[in-house]
Structures are given as structure tokens and as C-alpha cells.
């Protein structure tokens, strides 16, 4: 039985796995202690649960549990990493390198740091969304302290050449941070093999609770330090004070464990469904996949449908929860800055849909989505004079539109 609307916006957030909720429940009412209360059994029990969760989190990314700093989510982790490095390594330099297509949590933090005297180079991604290690190398200066490049893009799913970039950074003694929110739990991310110094990710993108995340901070080769952005009782190795959110941390631990155990099976099934969705939708004339299709996440597809008005498209597929090519961070109708950075014009960026599949997505839902999108696109084109002109072979770029 198909329940409408269907949810295909799993890059925005995922539903919580029932097994995660089950693990969390005892820590709300029975085991409610403060993990920092060292004098009695309630505190010990909470601390024990947090320590176990840290191990579950660490084993998903091949880290040491002592390298896991708990935060309120990836946005806070990104802020802590960038601002913390800017302050801690001020004597070494003030130059950061990042990419134009990063998440706003990185871009806006960089803008903030620029006001405080940081110098930031924003690399331009190619039309397929990728950057090269040569671009990073060319941007490095004597005062470069940090390179931050997202592991996989939230809008188009492309996976950056992280290993090559970290090898370069290591050879120059530069720290490397990655926002891996979309990647962790979906593909194998190994901080040792990948040579990552700091990494941010979040619980709610991997079937865990909202409001909890991680900043992985490497402890040796090199030992990385960041200045705390929140002061208090010196929790989290002095990097992030505040009473720990025990139920959510337990949930994040369980979510990480499930991803570690089930990722391969999930990926095989989800990528097959995603490919089927794309093949069926590419049958529609003038439809395109945005971003590199070889180096990308298994569950994401971003597609544009030419000669379709963006707002109409979102209204037309109202029974499917998907994300549109308008900026996801606001109610504005600005076209997505990520798609613009790839060179798409405003119209094409507006007429794009991002599909994000999950371990709960069914074949039946994909069938429905295929038919629903086909129907919406065809209907909108029937009403579009631009489509009519295109079909008549008129080159729309040559038309002079009258001012009104």
C-alpha cells in the first residue's frame, strides 16, 4: 500500500531507524543521569553509555573513540573546526582554502572569519562539480593553515578526490578538514586511509536523531587542537563544553553501528533504484543529470528538465517530497548557488529536482515517482510557449525579448 506523499528528500534529513529509537528510550526516563556526574551510579551509567556510543561512532570511521568530539550537529562541528583552527594556529598563518560549492555552514563561517582577518581562497568547481588536487596546490601560500573540502556534495552528490588532497596537505604541513555530513554512513569513510585531520558529520542524515553531531579531531600525526567556541565545564577534552545529550548520543552511536553493518547491502539496493529512476526520467526529452556520475553518492540524483518553470515543477510533483533547484537555505526563489557554480543558467537550475533515497525507500515509491515526474514535466511543457518554440526548431537564445 503506497502512502502519499512519498519521501525522497533524504539529503535534507532521514527518518529515524526504529532500532535507534529503541536504543535511546531508556536514557530519557530510567537512565537519566548526567554523564559528567562522577559521584554516583546514575552518572556512571550515563557516562558508560556515552563511552560505548563513542566507540560505535569511532569504529564507523576507523578513528579512536578519544578523537570523537560530540556537538549539536554538523553546522556546529564546521564552526568549531574552522574558527577553532583560526584561533589556535593564528601564529602559523591565516589563509584558508575551500570550494565555492561547499555547504553554507562552511561558506558563512569562512565569510565570518574573513571579517576577523582571515584570508580565504574559494576554488571553482568544474562543470561536473569536481575540483582537482592541482587547483588546491596552486592556491597554497606560505601562510595557508587549513584546507576544507566537503567529502560529498549535498545537492549533486559528487565525491571529491579527498585522498589526493590530503596527501598534498600532509606534504606541506597544512591541516585538512572535511564536511562529510552526506558521506558518512552512506559510503566507506576511513579517516586513517583518507588522511583526514578533522571531519564533521551529523546524526540526522544517517537515520539517527536531529540535534547531535560529531567533530572528529585527530590526536596523532599530527595532533590537532582547536580553540573551544563554547566555554564552560571543559567537557569534550576542553573543546566543547555543555552537558551531554545522552539519549541522542546513544542514538547516534546505534545509527553509526547500523550503518557500519548494513551499508554495503543498503548501497547495492539503493543505487540500483536510483539508477532506474534516472534511466526512466532521462527518457524525457531535454532532461539532464547534474554533476559527475562516476564519482558520486549511491543515493542521490539531481536532474534538470529544460523548458519547465521551476515553481510549477515543485507544485506539479506535490505528492513527492523532493528538493528543488531553488536555494534550500531560504524561502527565496534564488537558483541554487551550487548548480550556478556548475555553469547552469537560472532557468535550468530552477527546473532541477534533487532526489535523495534511503534504506526505507521502496521500488513501489520509485515507480510512483517516475510516473509522477513524467506526468508533471509533460503537462507543464504543454502549457509552455517556450517548449512549443523549441519543438518548432527556434533557437531561443536568438530571441530578443521585449521590455515590459
Residues taking part in catalysis: 328
Sign, CA torsion 204/208/212/217: negative
* C-beta of residue 229 within 8 angstroms of C-beta of residue 29: no
Cβ atoms within 10 Å of 271's Cβ, excluding its own: 16
CB 186 within 8 A of CB 206: yes
Residue 72 has what DSSP assignment? S
Q: Counting every residue, how long is the chain?
A: 404
Instruction: Read off the C-alpha cell for 251.
Output: 542514538
Distances (CA, A) of 249 to 214, 243, 295, 364: 10, 12, 31, 34
What stretch of H or E contains 293? none
| Cα within 13 Å of Cα(393), Cβ side | 0
Residues 328/76/105/54 CA torsion (nearest 10 deg):
-80
- Contact predicate 152/297, CB 8 Å: yes
| Phi–psi pair at 82, nearest 5 degrees | -75, -50
Amino acid at each position: 500500500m503506497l502512502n502519499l506523499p512519498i519521501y525522497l528528500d533524504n539529503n535534507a534529513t532521514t527518518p529515524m531507524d526504529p532500532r535507534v529509537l529503541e536504543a535511546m528510550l531508556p536514557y530519557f526516563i530510567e537512565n537519566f543521569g548526567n554523564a559528567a556526574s562522577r559521584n554516583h551510579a546514575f552518572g556512571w551509567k550515563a557516562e558508560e553509555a556515552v563511552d560505548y556510543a563513542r566507540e560505535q561512532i569511532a569504529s564507523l570511521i576507523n578513528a579512536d573513540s578519544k578523537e570523537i568530539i560530540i556537538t549539536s550537529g554538523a553546522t556546529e562541528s564546521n564552526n568549531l573546526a574552522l574558527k577553532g583552527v583560526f584561533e589556535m594556529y593564528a601564529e602559523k598563518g591565516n589563509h584558508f582554502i575551500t570550494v565555492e560549492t561547499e555547504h553554507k555552514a562552511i561558506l558563512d563561517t569562512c565569510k565570518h572569519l574573513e571579517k576577523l582577518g582571515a584570508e580565504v581562497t574559494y576554488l571553482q568547481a568544474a562543470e561536473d562539480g569536481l575540483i582537482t588536487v592541482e587547483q588546491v596546490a596552486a592556491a597554497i601560500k606560505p601562510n595557508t593553515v587549513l584546507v576544507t573540502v566537503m567529502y560529498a556534495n549535498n545537492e549533486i552528490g559528487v565525491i571529491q578526490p579527498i585522498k589526493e588532497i590530503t596527501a598534498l596537505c600532509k606534504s606541506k604541513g597544512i591541516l585538512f578538514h572535511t564536511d562529510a555530513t552526506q558521506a558518512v554512513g552512506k559510503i566507506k569513510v576511513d579517516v586513517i586511509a583518507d588522511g583526514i585531520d578533522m571531519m564533521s558529520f551529523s546524526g540526522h542524515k544517517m537515520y539517527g536523531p536531529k540535534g547531535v553531531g560529531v567533530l572528529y579531531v585527530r590526536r596523532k600525526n599530527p595532533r590537532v587542537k582547536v580553540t573551544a567556541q563554547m566555554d564552560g565545564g571543559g567537557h569534550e577534552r576542553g573543546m566543547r563544553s555543555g552537558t551531554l545529550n545522552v539519549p541522542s548520543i546513544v542514538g547516534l552511536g546505534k545509527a553509526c553501528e547500523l550503518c557500519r553493518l548494513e551499508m554495503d547491502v543498503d548501497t547495492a539496493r539503493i543505487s540500483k533504484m536510483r539508477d532506474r529512476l534516472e534511466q526512466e526520467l532521462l527518457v524525457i526529452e531535454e532532461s539532464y543529470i547534474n554533476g559527475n556520475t562516476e564519482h558520486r553518492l549511491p543515493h542521490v540524483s539531481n536532474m534538470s528538465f529544460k523548458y519547465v518553470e521551476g515553481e510549477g515543477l515543485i507544485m506539479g510533483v506535490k505528492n513527492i517530497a523532493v528538493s528543488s533547484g531553488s536555494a534550500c537555505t531560504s524561502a527565496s526563489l534564488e537558483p541554487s548557488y551550487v548548480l550556478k557554480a556548475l555553469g547552469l543558467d537560472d532557468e535550468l537550475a530552477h527546473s532541477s529536482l534533487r532526489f535523495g533515497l534511503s534504506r526505507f525507500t521502496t521500488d513501489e515509491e520509485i515507480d510512483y515517482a517516475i510516473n509522477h515526474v513524467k506526468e508533471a514535466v509533460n503537462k507543464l511543457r504543454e502549457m509552455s510557449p517556450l517548449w512549443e518554440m523549441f519543438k518548432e526548431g527556434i533557437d531561443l537564445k536568438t530571441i530578443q525579448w521585449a521590455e515590459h
